[in-house]
Amino acid sequence: MLSARPAVRVRPYRIERTAHTMVGTIDPAREVTNIDTITGGVDTHADTHTVAALDGLGRLLGHATFPVTPTGFDDLMTWLRSHGEVVAVGMEGTGSYGAGLFQHLRVHRLQVIEVDQPDRRARRRTGKSDPTDAIAAARAVQAGTATGTPKTRDGVVESIRALRVARNGAIKAHTAAINALRQTIITAPAHLRQQLVGQGAKGLVDTCARFRPGDVRDPEQATKATLRRLARRCQMLAAELAETDKDLKTLIVAKAPDLLAVHGVGTHIAGQLLITAGDNPERLKSEASFAALCGVSPSWRPRARPTATGSTAAAIEQRTAPCTAS
């Protein structure tokens, strides 16, 4: 059965041209990529780095794997430059496995762009391998989806970060030692446990550190030896924490004295804020970018439609008349 609807003549899409622009096709303000330029991508690991090279049209020129050594870094850069002029290198893990290579490329004035890990959906579709990840990093740079500037890690902030690594480890060890001390007291002989009941953490540590155990073949004496070792471990870690905090305060006062002057901001909060911004805080263009880096940027919500009697907010916040005594 033929359709009763009349035939419609389809007109071809017409491109309007003006003296300065061509509507609907190409944005002339966008710079045309030189096909002779090279974009690199690096998938970093603990022992080897895999690098891929793409030309200006996104065609794969090759990939190779190099060891994580100073000689390997030189060979990687030489191999990459053998294909042409390198304009940018996309890299995963510039603050972990790729830290050494990043510093090496930075010294040789190669632009390095931080690349996030590939999307899991795309990874399942295309497979997972070191060359695939390196190619994906280079393509992310060419597509403009990767634009992050890595932390330089070459100033006082990097020193603060290194000290905080030792401090965090000491805090965990100190907490574990205190917990082990309390658990040991629970199962200690009754008269020994009675000596330690009701004491705070510091008093407990000081008392146990003064124990003088005898023959450890006796369970009570072995318990005393254990309590003394745990208590002295707590004292050693407390001294280490005090020394680390002193060094941190010296560095933070020299780096950002105004930050410590803010009400409620101490040494630890100031140190974390500085580490988050890095030694090159100019890479953060606005407060919004800093919020996104910290994972607290507001999510987008669709605009609510107004109701027939007024705005949505007015409809939600309908106020009732107050009750009055009759």
Read off the tokens for 182.
């309390």
Q: Which residues contact 2 (CB under 8 A, 6 or more apart)?
A: none
Phi, psi of 62 (to 5 degrees): 155, 170
37-143 classified as CATH 1.10.730.10: no
Residues 213/225, Cβ–Cβ less than 8 Å: yes
In the chain, domain spans: 37-143, 156-282
- What is the DSSP track for 49-104? EEEEEE-TT--EEEEEEEESSHHHHHHHHHHHHTTSEEEEEEES-TTTTTHHHHHH
For 92, the token pair is 């995963």
Read off the tokens for 48: 């080897």
Q: Which tens digit of pLDDT belongs to each residue from 247-267? A: 999 999 999 999 988 999 988
Q: Quick count: other Cβ atoms within 10 Å of Cβ 275?
A: 15
Average pLDDT over residues 187-205: 90
Contacts of 305 (CB under 8 A, 6+ apart): 312
Encoded amino acid at 160, one letter: I
CB 44 within 8 A of CB 91: yes
Rounded-to-integer distance, Cα 67 and Cα 80, Å: 15
> Tens digit of pLDDT for each residue in 86-127?
999 999 889 999 999 999 999 999 999 999 876 667 667 767
Whether 177 has a pLDDT exceeding 60, the answer reads yes
Q: Give the chain's count of helices (H) and strands (E).
A: 12, 5
Tens digit of pLDDT for each residue in 9-68?
444 444 444 444 333 333 433 343 567 899 999 999 999 999 999 999 999 999 999 999
Could you tell me the pLDDT band of residue 306, with boundaries at 50, 70 and 90?
Answer: low
What is the per-residue pLDDT for 289? Answer: 83
Contact criterion met (CB below 8 Å) for 137 and 92: yes
Q: Is 286 exposed, middle or buried (0-12, 13-18, 19+ CB in 10 A)?
A: exposed
User: In this predicted model, what pLDDT tens digit does every residue of 206-249 receive, in sequence order?
Assistant: 999 999 999 999 999 999 999 999 999 999 999 999 999 999 99
* Distance between CA atoms of residues 118 and 134, nearest Å: 10
- Which of these, 72, 52, 74, lies nearest to 62 by C-alpha position? 52
pLDDT of 297 reads 76
Q: Which residues of 108-136 are buried (b: 16+ CB within 10 A; e: fewer)?
A: eebebbbbeebeeeeeeeeeeebbbbbbb
